[in-house]
Chain A
Amino acid sequence: MLQLLEQTWFRLEAYLQDGGVVMLPLVLVSLLMWVLIMDRIFFFRRLYRKTMSARSAWEHIQQQRMPDPGEYRGIVSLLVADFLENRSGDRMLDRFILDERVQHINRRMKDYLALIGVLAAIAPLLGLLGTVTGMIATFDVLSVFGTGNAKAMAGGISEALITTQTGLLVAIPGLYMKGFLDRRADNLIQRVKTVGYYLRRHL
């Protein structure tokens, strides 16, 4: 097992070395992107599950009862708790306060998503950069040794191909996850807004 791990590490190191300078930023971009993606996934998951229906939200507000964190943990219960803390008692004013709270919650929803998107977009550009540096290395060899020395050219070519491959490997799942998280965020925003309108009507 340990040997297998060591072998994998060795191979990975060789792969990174073959890719040249561009591999370091690529790996950093990939790591940062996946840390953010994981963070967002858990964040949304917490808000997604054990959510409250609009009706029970209204019941809680009517009874001035804080949602039980064991029973409800979703984004709607967050809104209800927030609203109950800030409400004034006046009907008209409560409506505005409700709007404010909805806005406050939704503002946080899209955090980091743009950054994830731009990291995913940068990865293929870095891959392209690696391609170009690889080709430069290849042509440097060509200008020194001529076309005869295919072995010397292989280093630059493998650099070009490995970075492109890695860039795409980072970008494709990244873009998919960006889309997934965007949908999830939109969904949550929609849900909060819907509940907001429902409560507004009943207040």
Chain B
Amino acid sequence: MKRTPRWLTGALMLFLLNLPAAQAAAQDMREAQIQARETRKALIDRAAEEQRAAEQAAARSREKIGQDRTVLKKALAELEARHKTLDQEVGRLSAEMERLTAEEKDLTQRLAESDGMVRELVGVIRVNAKDLLALIEQNLKSAMIDHDVAFLASIAEQARFPGMADIRRMIALLFETIQASGEVSIQSGTITDRTGLQAEADILTIGNFTAAYRIEDEAGFLTYAPASRNLYALSRLPSGRMQRQLDDYMDGSSDAVPMDVSRGGALRQLTHELSLWQQIPKGGIIVWPILAILAVGIVIVIERVVFLWRKHLDGDRLMNGIAARVVEQKWDLCHQLCEAARGKPIARVVAAGLNCRKMAREEMENALQEAILREIPPMERFLSTLGMLAAIAPLLGLLGTVTGMIDTFHVITQHGTGDPRMMSGGISEALVTTMLGLTVAIPIMLAHTLLNRSVDNRIGQMEEKAVALVNIVHKNREKRKV
């Protein structure tokens, strides 16, 4: 490589030197030719020398190249051998890799499968933990039994991975709760009583449905507040009958006890129950005329009962006495007898009859009839009013119904039927007035009938006694004639 340019440079230089010589040949051709010959000789020597050196160098480098080639060949062979083994290695490894990839794929799939299963299982366990937690929290027994539910909460909130031990604990807790919910027990514990204070009481729990308490002589139902895990006494006591039943049951003297299977719904309703007196103001203004009717009716009934009771007389006994004295012609005694029962209608009628004892039959009958007619109006006084009141009361109730319904429909036209609570004002007015109207009318009606009947009875008795008196007097007169 290096040698070739060296001699080529020599030749080039030679040529270049020749050029100016040729140009200067005009003047001194010979000298120049000699000089040129010498120069050419020197140049040829130098070139030969240089050629030799170059050949030597070439031989050296050729030798070196030969050496290098063998070394390189050796190295090549070595490398080829290595390449071969490496190729083999690569083949082996890629086969292995393929196998492993397949295996990995398989394993990934299996992992995904089992991961899904585990996740599903954990989900089920969490749901169950949540359910169980709710069950225990809602259970009124929790107010008395302190379950450890912290682990359930952490499972439910995904803060903890449930293990087999947790599952076992859950099962045990569930069974415990199930068993507790089937038990009826009496034990003492702390409750919040009706005044809002903590109190010690005997607590009766019937499964997880109903709880009742007894403090001294007060027995009532309890409600359970899951948030505070406390039992509260209902603000209103149950009826006396229920209290007695609770008492008896807690004493063990009775097998039956009222319980609320709706888990508090019925008990809450108990606290909202209104008594009759609380309902009356809900009836609106029509309630007052109805109540006024009731008051007037009561006054009339009392007045009539007192009046009739005071005017009552055993007519048969009086007539027997009169009859005996008429036979003996003792008219004064008869008058005395009537005078003794002064103020009683029958006695007055009989006295009137005795006064006209000497008259003819027809006239005497007329006089008696007149006396009877005089007695009737005071006895019948107020009775027609009472009958009218009995008829008016339900009508007023009906009026209240109608005004209440009008109210209701007003509400409906303004607010629609969406909220039944809005309508309940008018409806309760309608119902309360109807109820009150009937409640007032029924006893007044009954009293009116009884009083009317009693007055009719008395009038009948008076008429009968009048005829009897006429007959007695005339019988006696006939006897005397005979």
A residues with CB within 8 A of B: 86, 88-90, 93, 96-97, 99-100, 103-104, 107, 111, 114-115, 117-119, 121-122, 125-126, 128-129, 132-133, 135-137, 139-147, 149, 151-152, 155
Name the interface residues of B438-477: CB closer than 8 Å to any CB of A.
438-439, 441-442, 445-446, 449-450, 452-453, 457, 460-461, 463-464, 467-468, 470-471, 474-475
Bound: A91/B449 CA distance, A = 41
Q: Besides the contacts A115-B453, A132-B431, A145-B265, what 8 more A-B pairs have beta carbons closer than 8 Å?
A: A96-B474, A107-B464, A114-B449, A122-B446, A128-B434, A140-B428, A142-B420, A147-B420
List of B residues within 8 angstroms of A135 by Cβ: 431
Measured CB to CB, the closest approach of chain A to B280, in angstroms, equals: 11
Is B435 in the interface zone, CB < 8 Å from A? yes
Q: Looking at the complex, which one of B269, B445, B457, B475 makes contact with A88 (CB distance below 8 Å)?
A: B475
Known contacts A107-B464, A128-B438: does B265 contact A149 (CB below 8 Å)? Answer: yes
Known contacts A139-B427, A143-B420: does B464 contact A100 (CB below 8 Å)? Answer: yes
List of B residues within 8 angstroms of A100 by Cβ: 464, 467-468, 471
Bound: A117/B479 CA distance, A = 47
Q: Looking at the complex, which one of A96, A128, A136, A147 makes contact with B432 (CB distance below 8 Å)?
A: A136
A-B contact pairs, 5 of them (CB 8 A): A86-B471, A88-B474, A104-B468, A129-B439, A132-B431
List of A residues within 8 angstroms of B474 by Cβ: 88, 93, 96
Known contacts A97-B471, A103-B464: does B272 contact A144 (CB below 8 Å)? Answer: yes
Q: Are A125 and B441 in contact (CB under 8 A)?
A: yes
Q: Are A93 and B450 in contact (CB under 8 A)?
A: no
Bound: A103/B442 CA distance, A = 33
List of A residues within 8 angstroms of B468 by Cβ: 100, 104
Q: Are A96 and B471 in contact (CB under 8 A)?
A: yes
Is B274 in the interface zone, CB < 8 Å from A? yes
Measured CB to CB, the closest approach of chain B to A22, in angstroms, equals: 10
List of A residues within 8 angstroms of B467 by Cβ: 96, 99-100, 103
Q: Are B428 and A139 in contact (CB under 8 A)?
A: yes
Bound: A115/B456 CA distance, A = 13
Q: Are B431 and A118 in contact (CB under 8 A)?
A: no
List of B residues within 8 angstroms of A96 by Cβ: 361, 467, 470-471, 474
Measured CB to CB, the closest approach of chain A to B130, in angstroms, equals: 25
Known contacts A103-B463, A118-B449, A125-B442: does B435 contact A93 (CB below 8 Å)? Answer: no
List of B residues within 8 angstroms of A122 by Cβ: 442, 445-446
Q: Are A140 and B478 in contact (CB under 8 A)?
A: no
List of B residues within 8 angstroms of A119 by Cβ: 446
Chain B contact residues: helix, strand, loop or mixed: helix
CB closest residue in chain B, given A117 = B449
Q: Are B470 and A132 in contact (CB under 8 A)?
A: no
Bound: A96/B467 CA distance, A = 8
CB closest residue in chain A, given B266 = A152
Measured CB to CB, the closest approach of chain A to B477, in angstroms, equals: 9
Bound: A111/B439 CA distance, A = 27
List of A residues within 8 angstroms of B442 by Cβ: 122, 125-126, 129
CB closest residue in chain B, given A149 = B265
**Proximity bits, B416-438, A CB within 8 Å = 1, else 0:** 00001100100110011011001
Q: Are B464 and A152 in contact (CB under 8 A)?
A: no
Bound: A96/B439 CA distance, A = 49
List of A residues within 8 angstroms of B432 by Cβ: 136
Measured CB to CB, the closest approach of chain A to B248, in angstroms, equals: 16
Is B228 in the interface zone, CB < 8 Å from A? no
Q: Are A93 and B478 in contact (CB under 8 A)?
A: yes
Q: Looking at the complex, which one of B435, B449, B461 makes contact with A107 (CB distance below 8 Å)?
A: B461
Measured CB to CB, the closest approach of chain B to A134, in angstroms, equals: 9
Bound: A140/B474 CA distance, A = 73
Measured CB to CB, the closest approach of chain A to B481, in angstroms, equals: 9
Measured CB to CB, the closest approach of chain A to B267, in angstroms, equals: 11
Is B279 in the interface zone, CB < 8 Å from A? yes
List of B residues within 8 angstroms of A140 by Cβ: 272-274, 428
Q: Are A129 and B449 in contact (CB under 8 A)?
A: no
Measured CB to CB, the closest approach of chain B to A119, in angstroms, equals: 8
Q: Are A90 and B475 in contact (CB under 8 A)?
A: yes
Bound: A93/B482 CA distance, A = 14
